[in-house]
Structure 1
Amino acid sequence: MSRLGRADEGEPVQARNELSGTVNGPSVQVGQLHGDVHVGVTPLAEVVPHEVPVPLGGFVNRARELARAGELLDPGAGLVRIAVFTGLPGVGKTATVQRAVANTRGCYPGGELYVDFARLRDGGGTAVNDGLADCLRALGVHDKVMPPTLAGRANLYRTRTRGRPVLVVLDDVTEPAEVAPFVPSAAGSAVLVTSNRQLSELVLDEAAVVPVEPLSDESGVELLTALCGEHRTAAEPEAMRELAALCGGLPIALRTAAARLRSHPSLSVADLIAEITAEDSGLAPFDFSGAARVASVFTACYRELPAPAARLYRALGLFPGADFDSDLVVALGGGAPADERRALGALLEANLVTDQGEGRYRLHGLVRRHARGCADQDDPTGQVRRAVLRSVVDFFLRRAAFADLAVMGEGRLRITPHEELLGDEPSPFRGDTAKVAALRWLDVERPNLMAVLRTALDEGWYRAAWQLSEAMTALFVNRRYLEDWVESARIGVWAARLDERPAAVARLRSFVSRAYTDLGDLVEARAALDESLPIAEASGNARLVASVWELIGRLHDEHARVESDEVRRAEAISAYRRALELFAAADDDRGGAFVTFFLGCSQLGQGRAPEALATLERALDLIRAVPDQRMAGRALTAIGSAYHALGDDERAVTALRQAIEQLHAGQDYYYEAQAREELAKVAAHQGNRALQRENLQRALDIHARFGSPRVAELHDALAALG
Structure 2
Amino acid sequence: MSGLGRGNGENESPGVHNDLSGTVSGAAFQIGRFDGQVYLGEQPHRPASEADPVPHEVPVPLGEFVNRARELSQTRTLLDPESGRVRVAVFTGLPGVGKTAVVQRAVALADGAYPGGELYVDFARLREGGGAAVNDGLADCLRALGVEEKVIPPTLAARSNLYRTRTRTRPMVVVLDDVAEPAEVAPFVPSSAGSTVLVTSNRQLSELLLDEAAVVSVEPLSDESGVELLGALCGPHRGADEPEAMRELAGLCGGLPVALRVAAARLRSHPSLAVADLVAEVVAEDSGLAPFEFPGAAQVSSVLSACYRDLPSRAARLYRTLGCFPGTDFDSDLVIALGDGSPAEERRALAVLVEANLVIDKGTGRYRMHSLVRRHARGCADNEGDPRRRDVLGRTAEHFLRRAAFADLAVMGPGRLRITEHPEVLGDEPSPFSGDAAKQDALEWLDEERPNLMAVLRSALDENEYRTSWQLAEAMTALFVNLRYLEDWVESSRLGVWAARLDEAPQAAVRLGSFVSRAYTDLGRLGDARAALDEALPRAEASGNPRLLASVWELVGRLHDEYARTSDAEAHREKAVSAYQRALELFAASADDRGTAFVMYFLGRSQLARGNQREALATLENALERIRAVPDDRMAGRALAAIGLTHHALGDGEKAVAFLQRAIDQLVEGKDDYYEAQAREDLAAVAGQRGERELQREQLRRALEIHVRFGSPRVDKLREALDDLSR
TM bucket, shorter chain:
over 0.9
1:344 aligned partner: 350
1:377 aligned partner: 383
Give the SS at the match of 1:563: coil
1:652 aligned partner: 656
CA distance in 1, matches of 2:202, 2:393: 29
2:141 aligned partner: 135
Query: Is the Cα–Cα contact under 8 Å of residues 466 and 491 in structure 1 kept in the other structure?
Result: yes
Alignment of 1:510-525 (within 5 A): 510-525=514-529
Indicate whether 1:696 and 2:696 are aligned: no
Query: Please, which of 143, 148, 153 is the counterpart of residue 147 of structure 1?
Result: 153
Pair 1:272–1:519, CA change in 2 (3 A)? same
* Paired amino acid for 1:548: V
1:391 aligned partner: 395
CA distance in 2, matches of 1:535, 1:477: 23
* Paired amino acid for 2:353: L
Query: Is the Cα–Cα contact under 8 Å of residues 75 and 107 in structure 1 kept in the other structure?
Result: yes
TM-score in terms of structure 1 length:
0.93
Pair 1:332–1:477, CA change in 2 (3 A)? same
CA distance in 2, matches of 1:624, 1:631: 9
Give the SS at the match of 1:357: coil
Query: Is the Cα–Cα contact under 8 Å of residues 641 and 652 in structure 1 kept in the other structure?
Result: yes
2:79 aligned partner: 73
What per-residue deviation string (whole Å, max 9, x for no partner) do you get for residues 514-558 of structure 1? 000001111111111111111111111100000000001101111
1:25 aligned partner: none
CA distance in 1, matches of 2:364, 2:701: 37
Indicate whether 1:427 and 2:431 are aligned: yes
Query: Please, which of 555, 559, 581 is the counterpart of residue 585 of structure 2?
Result: 581
2:186 aligned partner: 180
Deviation (angstroms), 1:44: 6.8
CA distance in 2, matches of 1:191, 1:126: 20
Deviation (angstroms), 1:564: 5.8
Indicate whether 1:466 and 2:456 are aligned: no
CA distance in 1, matches of 2:241, 2:694: 80
CA distance in 2, matches of 1:410, 1:659: 25
Give the SS at the match of 1:90: coil
What per-residue deviation string (whole Å, max 9, x for no partner) do you get for residues 70-129 of structure 1? 011111112111101000000000000000111111111111111111101101111111
1:501 aligned partner: 505
Query: Is the Cα–Cα contact under 8 Å of residues 288 and 301 in structure 2 kept in the other structure?
Result: no
Indicate whether 1:707 and 2:705 are aligned: no
CA distance in 2, matches of 1:213, 1:651: 73
Deviation (angstroms), 1:138: 0.9
Query: Please, which of 238, 244, 252 is the counterpart of residue 246 of structure 1?
Result: 252
Query: Please, which of 460, 480, 486 is the counterpart of residue 482 of structure 1?
Result: 486
CA distance in 1, matches of 2:509, 2:457: 16
* Paired amino acid for 2:342: A
CA distance in 2, matches of 1:321, 1:520: 30
Unaligned runs of 5+ in 1: 1-40
TM-score in terms of structure 2 length:
0.92
Query: Please, which of 624, 638, 642 is the counterpart of residue 620 of structure 1?
Result: 624
Indicate whether 1:255 and 2:261 are aligned: yes
Indicate whether 1:122 and 2:117 are aligned: no
Query: Is the Cα–Cα contact under 8 Å of residues 285 and 295 in structure 1 kept in the other structure?
Result: no
CA distance in 1, matches of 2:288, 2:681: 68
What percentage of residue pairs aligned between the two structures are identical? 74
* Greater mean deviation of Cα atoms: 650-659 or 268-277: 268-277
Query: Is the Cα–Cα contact under 8 Å of residues 288 and 376 in structure 2 kept in the other structure?
Result: no
* Paired amino acid for 2:356: A
What per-residue deviation string (whole Å, max 9, x for no partner) do you get for residues 274-301 of structure 1? 2222323355243111211111111111
2:673 aligned partner: 669
1:12 aligned partner: none
2:12 aligned partner: none
Give the SS at the match of 1:374: helix
Deviation (angstroms), 1:218: 1.3
Give the SS at the match of 2:90: strand
* Paired amino acid for 2:366: R
CA distance in 2, matches of 1:508, 1:44: 45
CA distance in 1, matches of 2:340, 2:453: 20
Indicate whether 1:281 and 2:296 are aligned: no
1:300 aligned partner: 306
Query: Is the Cα–Cα contact under 8 Å of residues 285 and 369 in structure 1 kept in the other structure?
Result: no
1:18 aligned partner: none
Query: Is the Cα–Cα contact under 8 Å of residues 283 and 374 in structure 1 kept in the other structure?
Result: no
CA distance in 2, matches of 1:195, 1:291: 17
Query: Please, which of 335, 344, 351 is the counterpart of residue 341 of structure 2?
Result: 335
Query: Is the Cα–Cα contact under 8 Å of residues 556 and 571 in structure 1 kept in the other structure?
Result: yes
Give the SS at the match of 1:361: strand
Query: Please, which of 448, 463, 471 is the counterpart of residue 444 of structure 1?
Result: 448
* Paired amino acid for 1:241: R
CA distance in 1, matches of 2:461, 2:159: 31
1:531 aligned partner: 535
* Greater mean deviation of Cα atoms: 585-594 or 212-221: 212-221
Query: Please, which of 185, 207, 211 is the counterpart of residue 205 of structure 1?
Result: 211
Deviation (angstroms), 1:562: 2.6
2:459 aligned partner: 455
2:40 aligned partner: none
1:9 aligned partner: none
Query: Is the Cα–Cα contact under 8 Å of residues 48 and 169 in structure 2 kept in the other structure?
Result: no
Alignment of 1:402-417 (within 5 A): 402-417=406-421
Greater relative contact order structure (CA < 8 Å, 6+ sep): 1
Indicate whether 1:317 and 2:323 are aligned: yes
Give the SS at the match of 1:379: coil
Give the SS at the match of 2:388: helix
CA distance in 2, matches of 1:43, 1:255: 44
Query: Is the Cα–Cα contact under 8 Å of residues 490 and 519 in structure 2 kept in the other structure?
Result: yes
* Paired amino acid for 2:488: D
* Alignment: residue pair count: 680
Query: Is the Cα–Cα contact under 8 Å of residues 82 and 192 in structure 1 kept in the other structure?
Result: yes
What per-residue deviation string (whole Å, max 9, x for no partner) do you get for residues 328-361 of structure 1? 1111113211111111000000000001121111
* Paired amino acid for 2:641: T
Query: Is the Cα–Cα contact under 8 Å of residues 289 and 300 in structure 2 kept in the other structure?
Result: no
CA distance in 1, matches of 2:213, 2:224: 31
CA distance in 1, matches of 2:581, 2:520: 23
2:56 aligned partner: 50
CA distance in 2, matches of 1:357, 1:391: 25
- Indicate the RMSD between aligned Cα atoms, in angstroms: 1.4
Alignment of 1:599-638 (within 5 A): 599-638=603-642
